[in-house]
Structure 1
Amino acid sequence: MRKISILLAGFFALIMAWACVAPASAQQSNVYADVKSRGTLRIATVAGNPPYSSVGTDGQPTGYDVDIGKALAEALGVKPEFIIVDVPGRIAALQTGRADVTIANFTATTQRSTAVAFSRPYVVVGSVFLALNGSPIQSIEQLNDAKYKVAYARGATSEQTTAAVVPNAEKLRFDANNDGFLALQSGQADAVFMDSLQAAAYVAKEAGKYRILPGNFSYEEIAIGMPTGDFDWWRIVDGWVGQFNGSGANNTLFKKYFGFDLPAIK
């Protein structure tokens, strides 16, 4: 983490230098002022969504998104404070002022952008159906049958996409992505609809156990969520993400948790 924060420190120093010479009449970020005054960056994230985020045996949050939050907090010169929320809570935490940012495998969509602000993406994913390798299901057309059960996380983009792609399959709705994955492992579900990179990480980690069914069913830009109405806070966080992506720091963290290089963000 120290090496990553050193790579990004220069960018944050430039932002602070600009702020010092900006006109006194320029609007100051209320969120940034609160973060600095408090000395902590409040980060909403979810549990049960490895390798993005989960809670370790020590009770502390861990994962790719968690380390991104730590890197951002260090660049800002404050300590990270994690707030565990459910999937719908990713937006509510920002709207109610409980969190300064949401870093939680959070897809930037037009609908969500009417309620919260988003940075540029730090990873771009698709959505796929994951099945056990020994499953008789070979295609989405075959999966789209009332005799098969498909698991997905409530409140996520997967909810609408699953209904559209396999309308005839029985749906199993879970509070967390990992709960759907566990349903697949236990035989409660025949397939789970999930993030394409998350699925690829499971396949790579346990070779021969899982199989991704043919087809990709979404394009999703995963970004940092922020409260609306604070341009300076958006500018600071969005600029940091750009440097995080371009410096190679993002790839380092991604490879640590997923086991392969970060795909090009485009």
Structure 2
Amino acid sequence: MTINRRSFTMLAGITLTSALVSSVMPALAAGTLEAVKERGSLRVGVTQAPPWYSKDPATGEWTSGVGVSAGKAMAEALGVKFEPVEVTWGTAVAALQSNKIDIMFVLDATEERKKAADFPESPLLYYSLAVLAKDDLSVSAWEDLNKPEIRISVPQATSMDKFLTENVSKADIQRFPGNTEAIAAFQSGRVDAVCLFHPPLIAARQKLGSGKIVVPSPVKSNPTSAAVRKGDAEFVAFVDGQLKDYYQSGKIQAWYEEFLTGFGLDPKAAPPIIKELL
């Protein structure tokens, strides 16, 4: 067989593709639970978004947040280490597909995401969509924001982004990689409001010292969940059982209140994240 430049390039491409596929296949073939135990760690997607995930700037360690607490509890249940892996809300599903993470907490089970990832039936927690707006901005309903002169920041490729696109399309919607960047746009005055679910806004308002948190009407409340790789029924069932325990035992609310207290906030002043307590 004669190998010319074109043939060599094709063979090299096939070899590279095979190598990439091979790096993902062992975990998929063995199943996530087996792969996690063999590796000795549960890889949890994390992104700077208090109160869900928070990195200690002094140490660079992911030390607090509801997602961090849930990840550590799940790792402990499996007898392995908690291994945080930095992603963004928009790249979390791709990170699951490419076998870079095993799970991502506080990810809404949208119809679009369900095509690429699996979600347990049990909710992780509930929250309401809200905005942190300028003090002088008049807003009580979503329609108040549906104007061309209103600038709103939001993390891209999220359920919040989808909601704004469908309900306040006339506004100037500015999309950012994550919560931190969206909040920074509000802090710098580049936008009039930032749209997130209410818990992160409580932490942001505390840090910024200005702005007002509004839950516009009609109120948009929904559950959030945890995403895992598609097609692994055993791992989905395990995660479902863990989330059910976190929710029904009140652990998820306790972790939330623990973060708020550590952040200098009174948990009693914040809406709960368990639906039955709302």
Asked if Structure 1 and Structure 2 have the same fold, meaning a TM-score greater than 0.5 normalized by the shorter chain, the answer is: yes
Higher Rg of the two aligned structures: 2
What does residue range 16-95 of structure 1 map to in structure 2 within 5 Å? 30-47=31-48, 49-57=49-57, 58-61=59-62, 62-95=64-97
- Alpha-carbon shift at residue 130 of structure 1 (Å): 2.1
Return the alpha-carbon distance in structure 2 between the equivalents of residues 172 and 205 of structure 1: 22
State the Cα deviation string for residues 191-243 of structure 1 (Å, max 9, x = none). 11111333345557778742315325534321111111111111111101111
* Residue of structure 2 in register with 1:262 after alignment: 272
* Residue of structure 1 in register with 2:113 after alignment: 112
What does residue range 1-266 of structure 1 map to in structure 2 within 5 Å? 30-47=31-48, 49-57=49-57, 58-61=59-62, 62-103=64-105, 105-119=106-120, 120-137=122-139, 139-202=141-204, 209-212=211-214, 214-216=216-218, 218-258=220-260, 259-260=267-268, 262-265=272-275
- Alpha-carbon shift at residue 90 of structure 1 (Å): 0.9
- Runs of 5+ consecutive residues of structure 2 not aligned to the other structure: 1-28, 261-266
- Say which SS state the counterpart of residue 42 (structure 2) adopts: strand
Compared CA separation, residues 76 and 212, structure 1 to 2 (3 A): same
- Alpha-carbon shift at residue 263 of structure 1 (Å): 3.5
- Alpha-carbon shift at residue 133 of structure 1 (Å): 2.3
State the Cα deviation string for residues 143-172 of structure 1 (Å, max 9, x = none). 222112111111111222112222111121
- Runs of 5+ consecutive residues of structure 1 not aligned to the other structure: 1-27
- Alpha-carbon shift at residue 52 of structure 1 (Å): 0.9
Return the alpha-carbon distance in structure 1 between the equivalents of residues 71 and 30 of structure 2: 19
Contact 1:150 1:191 in 2 (8 A): yes
Contact 1:127 1:216 in 2 (8 A): no
Compared CA separation, residues 80 and 213, structure 1 to 2 (3 A): closer
State the Cα deviation string for residues 23-65 of structure 1 (Å, max 9, x = none). xxxxx97211111111111111222x11111322111123221
- Alpha-carbon shift at residue 122 of structure 1 (Å): 1.2
- Say which SS state the counterpart of residue 231 (structure 2) adopts: coil
TM-score by length of 2: 0.77
Compared CA separation, residues 208 and 192, structure 1 to 2 (3 A): closer
Q: CA RMSD in A?
A: 2.4
- Alpha-carbon shift at residue 118 of structure 1 (Å): 1.0
Return the alpha-carbon distance in structure 2 between the equivalents of residues 107 and 85 of structure 1: 16
Compared CA separation, residues 225 and 138, structure 1 to 2 (3 A): closer
% identical equivalent positions = 26
Aligned residues: 237
- Say which SS state the counterpart of residue 99 (structure 1) adopts: coil
Return the alpha-carbon distance in structure 2 between the equivalents of residues 169 and 89 of structure 1: 25
Return the alpha-carbon distance in structure 2 between the equivalents of residues 89 and 112 of structure 1: 11
Contact 1:148 1:170 in 2 (8 A): yes
